[in-house]
Amino acid sequence: MENRKDLFSLNGKVALVTGAAYGIGYAMAKALADAGAKIVFNCRSERHMEEALAHYKEDGIEAKGYICDVTHEDEVRAMVADIEKSIGTVDILVNNAGIIKRIPMHEMSADEFREVVDIDLNAPFIVSKAVIPGMIAKGHGKIINVCSMMSELGRETVSAYAAAKGGLKMLTKNIASEYGEYNIQCNGIGPGYIATPQTAPLRERQADGSRHPFDSFIVAKTPAGRWGDPEDLAGPAVFLASDASNFVNGHILYVDGGILAYIGKQP
């Protein structure tokens, strides 16, 4: 019997992680690199690219970055073609790039709605479509879509985000259904509330030393009693990218500290 630890090895694998210049995308890319994968990522900003490459280098990770807008099919096709030519077939795709606009639905313009759906749902379709032929030819592939608790729940001011992430959940299931016969597994990771620089203002102590109201709300709704850490996504990402998950397909793994399982304490 092979060493069970080898099931989690990504040695020699090429992993494309979209939007992995910072935040949870970077955390997942780092986890895949630590497991042996070659990391490729994209972002839309030259400034973010320079900062990200420096960050990867500081962490001892050789990563290749592309300036690419994943909502533009021609740019994505060109990026994937270059990856296949210069590094190799994409074995692992993490569709992480995404945005959120917190605007009450009746105040949100149709263009704002479309922008969120374009990045959070259309882009995963575009990038997945670009890498699937190579995965079919190779006879194996892993696609991980970064979903959300909003793939299951609604909340004030996030109508476009919830619609897109709900759609991404179903795109995940459909890719699994359509390409499972080619030994391609497509699953999702649904992060809970993660402590990142972007969410730091929501966790700052108030002038009187009390918690921020949103911080109190999240901690009270989470059985774990805390925000998630980007590192909490490392194990799930490696699992879904590795041979350990070869018979897991069409599943959404929620990494939320138990929020979706919990009705909350009685007042």
Catalytic residue numbers read 161
Which residue matches tokens 């992060």? 191
CB 141 within 8 A of CB 131: yes
CB 155 within 8 A of CB 162: yes
Query: Where would I find the H helices in the chain?
Result: 23-34, 46-58, 73-86, 110-117, 123-138, 159-179, 213-221, 234-241
Tokens of 49: 């690219």
CA distance 31 to 41: 14
Please, what's the b/e burial string for 53-82 (b: 16 or more CB within 10 A of its CB; e: otherwise)? beebeeeebebbbbebbbbebebbeebbee
Name the nearest CA neighbour of 231 among 195, 186, 201.
195
CA distance 231 to 236: 10
- List 143's β-bridge partners, or say none: 93, 186
- Return the half-sphere exposure (C-beta side, CA atoms, 13 A cut-off) of residue 195: 13
